[in-house]
Amino acid sequence: MKNKSGQVSPAGVSEPKLGSAASAPAPVRLAAVIAIVQSLAVIGFGCFLIYRDITHASNDSMVYEGSAPARVGTGTAVFLFICFGFVIAGTFAMLKGKRWGRGAIVLMEFILAACSFQMMSAGAVALGVATLASALVALFLLMFVPASTQWAAAHYGG
């Protein structure tokens, strides 16, 4: 089947409608939902870090002199807002057919999968397992489900 630009689309993949989230197959949309939920959870944690800084909550695991390290939670929160805000933007971009959107999600899922082992070794086993499971599901949906890979190939001209 040929598309508007004369290129042959992979068999069984309908021509995607640019700018339409409905054109993405269900596995891609589910992976996007997972990425947004993960990102919102991390942004919520960033808000918690800022709250701890504002209320001057003590952190016995940090040893420091001076006042600058007292705002490390706020700095961490800003970093998290940038990274995971980018992932949220990436999910919408992916659904609209932008190449960078899928890459941003896949990269962050690999990072979350690696971070989950640190969570588990620090004693937050349930949180680590949940993080690892959600990252692996999102990666599987984006990288190994045939409908997703065929959609990506057709949608991105690959």
What is d(CA 96, CA 82) in angstroms, rounded to the nearest whole number? 21
pLDDT band, residue 100 (cuts 50/70/90): confident
**CA distances (Å), 102 to each of 13, 46, 48, 67, in order?**
18, 24, 28, 40
What is d(CA 37, CA 58) in angstroms, rounded to the nearest whole number? 29
Q: Name the phi and psi angles at 157, rounded to 5.
A: 75, 20
pLDDT band, residue 96 (cuts 50/70/90): confident
3-state DSSP call for residue 127?
helix
Which tens digit of pLDDT belongs to each residue from 2-54? 455 444 555 554 554 444 545 889 999 999 999 999 999 999 999 999 999 89
* pTM, entire model: 0.81
